[in-house]
Amino acid sequence: MPNSSKLSQEFKEFRFRRRYDHLLRFRLRNAKPNEIIKAARELGFKINAKDLEKASSLKAEQASKKAEPIQKKSVFDRLNSFFKD
């Protein structure tokens, strides 16, 4: 199992580099998984298709959770409640 955690760490490092390397980000925009893996290997990262599947399923899971609506009170609502008290 230490090998799988090392691969997971490799993928996290690749994502970090992709986030801050604008040329790499542009190159990988709308890229297919095989192209992403190929680019990562060119840069020296050892990632596989399973890492990409885990990442996409995590994104889908987070997107499926609905955010609770934030109820903001306007200035007028706050003033009305202030004067009512």
What is the predicted pLDDT for the residue at 65? 66
What is the predicted pLDDT for the residue at 54? 73
Give 5-33 as a DSSP string.
HHHHHHHHHHHHHHHH-HHHHHHHTT--H
Residue 42 one-letter amino acid: E
What is the predicted pLDDT for the residue at 66? 60
What is the predicted pLDDT for the residue at 1? 43
Low-confidence stretches of the chain (pLDDT beneath 70): 1-4, 6-7, 55-72, 85
Token output for 81: 């409640």
